[in-house]
Structure 1
């Protein structure tokens, strides 16, 4: 795959590590060997997976002479935090539209990412109700900014369009280089599946390189059929952008929706256990919305024998630990 054909900023500082999770593997019975790809260690304020996507999105924005970025997310959005972070580095203004997916969850004085938006100097935050047309809301903010003489660029939620998803097709390539150097054969990769860019990028990348390594998505909000369709559609757009001639088979996109619980960002007992297990066995911090629920799925799949005995499974840690501090009551209850 040739990524030099696309504008790209250089935010990464080399490959993120792949580490064995020996203690966690033993805690789960020792039948499956678990590894983690530490994208929580990516650069940007407190790290996280969106930095890979934003390398391409900010480059496109700068190519289009933008001086301002507008993006959206939930009230504790890791994507919004990292967009604000890289806007600071690029000397661009950042404006956010936050969707209050859980009524009453937005608090101007809140902690976690909410506090970091303030610290990073976000120029404006507009909160809209759950179910709002987020693209229309961002376009409204963009139009207002144009009227003041600004040149805004809209980055979709999660930076999950074909431009942003390039970051995770590139990550798939990086991952295979590492696995080859480590002489480590893995039998599956588990990723969080939310706005779909990470999942689609990894799936397309692994498919385009003929790795025969399945990528499994753990849903954080939607039902299985709905999420798989969203991922598959984006995977098709990404494949076309990369010039991959063979269409990715529909069965290459697999999601599990059993770990969403009552809804997006709402805690589950399995998520709480997963966050505590990763911390107490591997000294790795997850977040309660994405990586926590994805890890809950990984743990359950291992326990119920989804992966055959002796399998090696790689978990993609997408970061987001600042959000933990907005959930203190959940973990201390």
Structure 2
């Protein structure tokens, strides 16, 4: 999947959080076991800071913007076991910024594993102040009000949206698109599909914008939504992809056909386990020694497995799955397994 174009993001403020490009690895045992397509993984779970995970790609640009604006405090929002919130707290600790997390009880779980372990334990270790809100609360509205309170005290506050999925944050995955293209070219692999989870839409939006900026087909990216239903998520992701593309180049435009989203693995709702997720997590762990998180990666990989087993992805095709990390979430979901 070589490109004749280059992607230059050097004019955007950025704080380096990734030491190297994350590797692409072949899932040889699992591919042979399934007897279908050749499966590969992009190991974004290996980005090490704060317990690791793909949100650090977005946070490179978000933190860059926050520091450019002279922020001394960063506030973000999410569910109680938010990976993005945990990594925002870690990044703030490294940068010397105060951090406040506005977390909602969006998932109907009240056991101690979920409420006090996993990401929420790490949020505390990183020194973040956590605001614990009910699931019905408007977290971003609360965050903006809290930011105004702190600004009245003379603080310079940067508010980061759900999942870090502003257009600035999505630049991190536009950059990842260029990284994948360079690695595929170096390894002599042509990927037929790139499979990702879609929560707040930023990963898919950024990848799509990146592929368009590189002059490549963006519909190679296929997402499995884990938060909202497919149609509203398609609208949200398309909007974010266009905002990101136009940050890169005002002449770029993303068509609706570029946004490929499947909702069949979402189950009863965000953060609620499904049998197919459990099977996907166990299969990946037992055959490849790799750990998927139960909220994002587990459900998206379950979708990939279904596509292989149903013949949608066939022998000879090369399918890349982006492993987003989120390992601490497994400990919060102990009872699900």
Per the normalisation by structure 1, the TM-score is 0.96
The residue aligned with 2:291 is: 285
Query: CA offsets, 1:108-160, max 9 Å, x none?
Result: 961100110111111x2112222432221110111222233321110111110
The residue aligned with 1:183 is: 188
Report the Cα distance in structure 1 between the residues aligned to 2:280 and 2:250, rounded to whole angstroms. Answer: 37
Query: CA offsets, 1:157-209, max 9 Å, x none?
Result: 11101000000000000111000000111101001101111010111112222
Report the Cα distance in structure 1 between the residues aligned to 2:148 and 2:109, rounded to whole angstroms. Answer: 28
Report the Cα distance in structure 2 between the residues aligned to 1:56 and 1:327, rounded to whole angstroms. Answer: 30
The 5 Å alignment of 1:65-214 reads: 65-105=70-110, 110-122=116-128, 124-212=129-217, 214=220
Query: CA offsets, 1:246-291, max 9 Å, x none?
Result: 4122111010000011110000000000110110111111100011
Q: Compare 246-255 and 62-71 and name the one that shifted more.
A: 246-255
**Stretches of structure 2 lacking an aligned partner (at least 5 in a row):** 1-6
Report the Cα distance in structure 1 between the residues aligned to 2:256 and 2:111, rounded to whole angstroms. Answer: 38
The residue aligned with 2:62 is: 57
Q: Compare 238-247 and 88-97 and name the one that shifted more.
A: 238-247
Q: CA 1:43–1:216 in structure 2 vs 1: closer, same or farther (change >3 Å)? A: same
Number of corresponding residues: 329
**Stretches of structure 1 lacking an aligned partner (at least 5 in a row):** none
The residue aligned with 2:21 is: 15
Report the Cα distance in structure 1 between the residues aligned to 2:43 and 2:182, rounded to whole angstroms. Answer: 15
CA drift of 1:102 comes to 2.2
The residue aligned with 1:275 is: 281
The residue aligned with 1:266 is: 272
Contact 1:219 1:259 in 2 (8 A): yes
The residue aligned with 2:324 is: 318
> Would you say 1:256 and 2:265 are equivalent positions?
no
CA RMSD of aligned residues (A): 1.4
Q: CA 1:94–1:102 in structure 2 vs 1: closer, same or farther (change >3 Å)? A: same
Contact 1:75 1:105 in 2 (8 A): no
Q: CA 1:245–1:113 in structure 2 vs 1: closer, same or farther (change >3 Å)? A: same
Report the Cα distance in structure 1 between the residues aligned to 2:229 and 2:8, rounded to whole angstroms. Answer: 34
> Would you say 1:5 and 2:49 are equivalent positions?
no
Contact 2:38 2:315 in 1 (8 A): no
The 5 Å alignment of 1:22-61 reads: 22-28=28-34, 30-61=35-66
Query: CA offsets, 1:13-39, max 9 Å, x none?
Result: 1100000001111222x2200000000
Query: CA offsets, 1:207-244, max 9 Å, x none?
Result: 22233361001100211111111100000101110005
Report the Cα distance in structure 2 between the residues aligned to 1:93 and 1:295, rounded to whole angstroms. Answer: 35
Q: CA 1:182–1:104 in structure 2 vs 1: closer, same or farther (change >3 Å)? A: closer
Report the Cα distance in structure 2 between the residues aligned to 1:105 and 1:147, rounded to whole angstroms. Answer: 35
SS at match of 2:123: helix
SS at match of 1:45: helix
Per the normalisation by structure 2, the TM-score is 0.94
CA drift of 1:316 comes to 0.4
The residue aligned with 1:302 is: 308
Report the Cα distance in structure 2 between the residues aligned to 1:284 and 1:327, rounded to whole angstroms. Answer: 17
